[in-house]
């Protein structure tokens, strides 16, 4: 089944759970992004589709996938253990579907955080770096750095793509975390953007322009990581 040049696949998480995925493989792809969605929307959300399409235009394959709670049409995210298991299963599936391509893993908000938790617990096989599309450092009205503690167990390069107005990651908290993570961590700020990478009209930029800048930063970073790996 195809959807916007993507092929639907099934990912076995464990004996009881299977989830859906969408793989997009442009000709002569140079790497594959294993892309998890956020807590509020699944892999077919327009933002996720636009990211996959924009990366395809840049010669990057993607495997988007669902968490089990979205498959069940539940509103509450899965327990962290099942979420991390789903991330790991998706990475293994991506390696099987695109065996010659290096892997970068990550995702939007919750999906990126579950990916980093999985990597911190036990290295994801074949993954060369993690990329976060709006890392949710804290709830909007409860600033904290507790959610960053596991990042210090991650030993591969990490890219934080963050809107400068992201209420889920106050810059006065996020920037010191990135600095403490050292050379394995890179922060790319998108001026005027919020957690959804939306910018107000007064900024003089469009959401599409912000997304283009974000995807270019992602591909430049990953290309560099893979060239130096």
Q: What is the CATH number of the domain that holds 84?
A: 3.40.50.1820
Average pLDDT over residues 67-88: 94
Average pLDDT over residues 156-178: 97
pTM for the full model?
A: 0.95
The whole domain housing 141 covers 2-228
Give the model's pLDDT for residue 5: 82
Binned at pLDDT 50, 70 and 90, residue 56 comes out as very high
Q: For the chain, what is the mean pLDDT?
A: 95
> Number of structural domains, the chain?
1
Give the model's pLDDT for residue 4: 59
Average pLDDT over residues 163-177: 96
Average pLDDT over residues 155-182: 97
Average pLDDT over residues 208-228: 96
Give the model's pLDDT for residue 3: 60
Give the model's pLDDT for residue 109: 97
Give the model's pLDDT for residue 111: 97
- SS3 of the chain: the string is CEECCEEEEEEECCCCCEEEEEEECCCCCCEEEEEECCCCCCCCCHHHHHHHHHHHHCCEEEEEECCHHHHCCCCCCCCHHHHHHHHHHHHHHHHHHCCCCCEEEEEECHHHHHHHHHHHHCCCCCEEEEEEECCCCCCCCCCCCHHHHHHHHCCCCEEEEEECCCCCCCHHHHHHHHHHHHHHEEEEEECCCCCCCCCCHHHCCCHHHHHHHHHHHHHHHHHHHHHHC
pLDDT at 146 over 70: yes
Give the model's pLDDT for residue 1: 36
Give the model's pLDDT for residue 57: 96
Instruction: Please state which of the ranges 8-17, 50-59, 173-182, 199-208 shows the lowest mean pLDDT.
Output: 199-208
Average pLDDT over residues 38-50: 94
Average pLDDT over residues 36-45: 94
Binned at pLDDT 50, 70 and 90, residue 2 comes out as very low
Binned at pLDDT 50, 70 and 90, residue 44 comes out as very high
pLDDT at 75 over 90: no
Percentage with pLDDT > 90 across the chain = 92
pLDDT at 81 over 70: yes
Give the model's pLDDT for residue 122: 97
């Amino acid at each position: 089944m195809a959807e916007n040049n993507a092929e639907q696949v099934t990912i076995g998480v464990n004996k009881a759970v299977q989830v859906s995925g969408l793989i997009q493989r442009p000709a002569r792809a140079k790497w594959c992004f294993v892309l998890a969605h956020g807590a509020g929307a699944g892999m077919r959300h327009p933002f996720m589709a636009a990211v996959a399409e924009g990366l395809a235009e840049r010669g990057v394959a993607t495997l988007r996938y669902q968490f089990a709670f979205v498959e069940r049409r539940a509103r509450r995210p899965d327990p962290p253990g099942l979420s991390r298991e789903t991330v790991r299963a998706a990475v293994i599936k991506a390696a099987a579907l695109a065996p010659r391509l290096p892997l970068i893993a990550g995702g939007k908000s919750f999906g990126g955080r579950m990916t980093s938790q999985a990597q911190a617990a036990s290295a994801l096989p074949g993954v060369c770096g993690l990329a976060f599309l709006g890392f949710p450092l804290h709830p909007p009205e409860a600033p904290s750095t507790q959610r960053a503690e596991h990042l210090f167990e991650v030993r591969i390069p990490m890219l934080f793509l963050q809107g400068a107005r992201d209420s889920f990651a106050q810059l006065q908290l996020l920037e010191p975390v990135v600095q403490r993570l050292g050379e394995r961590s890179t922060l790319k700020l998108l001026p005027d953007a919020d957690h959804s990478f939306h910018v107000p009209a007064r900024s003089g930029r469009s959401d599409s322009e912000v997304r283009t800048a974000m995807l270019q930063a992602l591909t430049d970073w990953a290309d560099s990581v893979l060239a130096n790996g």
